[in-house]
Amino acid sequence: MKGISFYFMVLAVISVTCGMALGIHMAISHDHTLAPVHAHLNLIGWVTMALFAIYYHIVPQAGQGLLAKIHLAVATAGVVTIVPGIALAITKQTEGLAAIGSIITLVSMVIFLITVVKTGKARD
């Protein structure tokens, strides 16, 4: 694995490592208040980023060019804003960062949709 797919996989593994650490902390402390943070970190950070990595690995031409780099940057920004944003919302500090992170994450998925469609059409 190399290029964009490698970077997405690194982001995925970092996310799952942090998600596991948070899960262990919650289990030890018997405080599961941040369970939604744990869930989003594992789903968006681990699963989604790993799926992006696999797609870019299987369809290497999708990882070429500026759009893939933009996708990586936006997806990374999404994870690093939505996860702490959810924590802030749960602890009733602010919902703003969660909202921003949600929008950034949605934009990341739209970029991926464009990538998949564009790459699929090019293969026809």
Q: Tens digit of pLDDT for each residue in 82-123?
A: 999 999 999 999 999 999 999 999 999 999 999 999 998 876
Q: How far apart are CA 18 and CA 115, in angstroms?
A: 28
Q: Is the pLDDT of residue 1 over 90?
A: no
Q: Is 121 exposed, middle or buried (0-12, 13-18, 19+ CB in 10 A)?
A: exposed
DSSP structural state of residue 32: -
The residue-averaged pLDDT of 41-56 equals: 97
User: What pTM, to 2 d.p., does this model score?
Assistant: 0.92
- The proportion of the chain whose per-residue pLDDT surpasses 90, expressed as a percent, equals 95
List the domain boundaries for the chain: 3-123
pLDDT digits (tens, 9 = 90+) for 16-31: 999 999 999 999 999 9
